[in-house]
């Protein structure tokens, strides 16, 4: 099988990176919604995806 499960630690790292800027900016948003869509995910995780070969993991 060419893919493997992502694992809890890797998933935690990905979610942490994904939500990092939203977490720091949340207090300045004063009740505004943050929409996390494909473009947001691509933008936030582009450096992580470039650093590692994630194609073998199930995301």
Q: What is the mean pLDDT of residues 42-59?
A: 69
Mean of pLDDT over the chain: 79
In the block, tokens 């990905």 appear at: 14
Give the distance, in angstroms, between the CA of residue 1 and the centroid of all CA atoms in the same chain. Answer: 25
Query: For the segment 23-41, what is each residue's pLDDT rounded down to a tens digit?
Result: 888 888 888 888 999 999 9
Look at residue 24 and tell me if it is in a domain: yes
SS3 of residue 4 by DSSP: strand
Q: Which residues of 20-53 are buried (b: 16+ CB within 10 A; e: fewer)?
A: eeeeeeeeeeeeeeeeeeeeeeeebeeeeeeeee
Structural domain span for residue 23: 8-54
Look at residue 59 and tell me if it is in a domain: no
Give me the number of domains the chain comprises.
1
Look at residue 1 and tell me if it is in a domain: no
Look at residue 2 and tell me if it is in a domain: no
Look at residue 20 and tell me if it is in a domain: yes
């Amino acid at each position: 099988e060419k893919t493997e499960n992502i694992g809890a630690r890797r998933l935690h790292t990905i979610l942490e990176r994904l939500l990092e800027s939203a977490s720091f900016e949340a207090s300045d948003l004063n009740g505004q919604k943050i929409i996390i869509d494909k473009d947001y995910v691509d933008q936030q995780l582009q450096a992580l995806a470039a650093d590692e070969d994630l194609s073998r993991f199930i995301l």
